[in-house]
Structure 1
Amino acid sequence: MTIASATDGGRLAGRTAVVTGAASGIGRAVAERFVREGASVVATDIDEAGLDRLVRQLPGAVSTVVGDVARDEDARRMVEAAVERHGRLDVLVANAGVIPLMEITEATAEDWDRVMAVDGRGMFLTCKYAIRAMTAQDRPGGSIVCLSSISGEAGQRGQAVYGPAKFVASGLTKHLAVEWADRGIRVNAVAPGTTATERVARLRDEPGGPEYLAAIERLHPMRRLGDPAEVAAAVLFLASDEASFVTGVVLPVDGGYLAQ
């Protein structure tokens, strides 16, 4: 484990955050932005090498936990690490997920179980342990931001496995927001459109990938893919005190996709 010192000031100064799936993509962008805003970040992922690269790159406070959010013990360790290392947990960003693209006739039961394990069960477990920590600390309360998707708000082709898991993310967000609002815990989500992560970039080298990307760009009214940093900015808003009266929201960051 490597730890660097936090920056002074910022919208998350003095806060501790756990970011799951932080080795790449949106999770990495969130970790980077949170550090610049003064947070102490516990970055988690199954990709140990990716986490090591993150630690070397970030100029602010970050420590790591290698684990699988779908495993109860690993999810608990991720949250406990924040409390043990920094004394409390203020923010959870439940971002970890897998993104298969397939129609239902191509998908197997194993495909379904794998996606639901990470994107569904993993989000459930990390939220569960985060809420336990947030309610047990000296100053109860906190903010949870779940990563949903436009696929968790509307139907799309080729998303028969991934999309339903993101409907879980949107639904869990709303139910937890109502359940824990009176105990000082806000629960929101962002619903990104197609975002230029490393996974999406690899589609350009896969059969049918370039055609898929060209088609999906046309479906976004802004006629481009999102940038992970743009999603991270929305996550920061929901995590910060600027959203102090916001809970139960699924915020699209989608270039107008869901407005159609």
Structure 2
Amino acid sequence: MITGAAFGIGRATAVLFAREGARLIVTDVQREPLLALAGELRQTGADVETVVGDVAVEDDTRRMIGAASERYGKLDVLVANAGIIPLGDATEVTAGGWDEVMAIDGRGMFLSCKFAIEAMLPTGGGAIVCLSSISGLAGQKRQAAYGPAKFVATGLTKHLAVEWADHGIRVNAVAPGTIRTERVQRLPAEPGGAEYLAEIERMHPMGRLGEPAEVASAIVFLASDEASFITGVVLPVDGGYLAQ
């Protein structure tokens, strides 16, 4: 199951899992883009179920996870990807903005992992891959709400990995640098966005932004049996950003 699958890293991950022969539950709050993705994947022969919902809403997230067991009898992999990326410093972020990002990127990730673990326990385990960020491992400007929310993802990954390792459940995360998602491509149209994007691109030693497919490859690896002795890892996919 992949949350936030309609765009960006989630979409690229769904495409790659489908190419590898996975049976997919794809979820998002945006119905039409999600249905369009499912239609494209089915044209390649993929077995895909869609669930429209909000990971911050407990009943929605329970329903998403339940769809895997109902359709396929079990849940082997969760990619907890759904999230929003607001930009702003501490003077710009409102209390409401803080609550929104924590609800989706924090509470939503916790609920996704919680219900996935409950589904995996009776069937012998599985793998969870959370979406953290370089902002969840190091400080960045204009990330006053988003960065702390991604520290939630990093912490949740490590604690759940230790908590459930002896039950056959592996929990890892990827920490992408700045990735050329649809959201990032819209930045130049926002106040200060073009300058921010130019600055952040220069800060990546490889001299470019990443592509969603590059993050998807790391996610699929961490979810696969090839990573069978890896848990509690937060893997940077960042063009060298955190190596500085």
| TM-score, normalised relative to structure 2 | 0.98
SS in 2 for 1:167: helix
Is 1:247 paired with 2:231? yes
Q: CA deviation at 1:148?
A: 0.1
Instruction: Tell me the equivalent position of 2:181.
Output: 197
Cα distance between partner residues in 1 of 2:2 and 2:166: 24
Instruction: Tell me the equivalent position of 1:89.
Output: 75
Q: CA deviation at 1:217?
A: 0.5
Is 1:68 paired with 2:54? yes
SS in 1 for 2:205: coil
Instruction: Tell me the equivalent position of 2:40.
Output: 57
Instruction: Tell me the equivalent position of 1:14.
Output: none
Which of 93, 96, 119 aligns to 2:105? It is 119
Return 5+ residue gaps in structure 1 as ranges.
1-17
Q: CA deviation at 1:94?
A: 0.2
SS in 2 for 1:23: coil
Which of 15, 19, 27 aligns to 2:10? It is 27
SS in 2 for 1:188: strand
Is 1:108 paired with 2:91? no
Is 1:145 paired with 2:129? yes
SS in 2 for 1:144: strand
Q: Percent identity?
A: 71
Instruction: Tell me the equivalent position of 1:160.
Output: 144
Instruction: Tell me the equivalent position of 2:19.
Output: 36
SS in 2 for 1:75: helix
One-letter amino acid matched to 1:122: G
How many residue pairs end up in the alignment?
Answer: 241
Instruction: Tell me the equivalent position of 1:184.
Output: 168
Q: CA deviation at 1:204?
A: 1.7
Which of 204, 218, 222 aligns to 1:234? It is 218
Indicate the larger mover: 243-252 or 201-210.
Answer: 201-210
Cα distance between partner residues in 2 of 1:198 and 1:97: 13
Cα distance between partner residues in 2 of 1:83 and 1:35: 18
More helix by share: 2
One-letter amino acid matched to 1:71: V
Q: Deviations over 1:199-258 (max 9, x none)?
A: 000012222211111111000000100000000000000000000000000000000000
Return 5+ residue gaps in structure 2 as ranges.
none
Q: Which stretches of structure 1, 4 residues or more, deviate above 2 A after TM superposition?
A: none
Cα distance between partner residues in 1 of 2:201 and 2:62: 38
Q: Deviations over 1:153-190 (max 9, x none)?
A: 00000000000000000000000000000000000000
Q: CA deviation at 1:63?
A: 1.2
SS in 2 for 1:20: coil
Instruction: Tell me the equivalent position of 2:29.
Output: 46
Q: CA RMSD in A?
A: 0.6
Instruction: Tell me the equivalent position of 2:196.
Output: 212
Q: CA deviation at 1:132?
A: 0.3
Cα distance between partner residues in 1 of 2:143 and 2:191: 17
Cα distance between partner residues in 1 of 2:18 and 2:223: 13
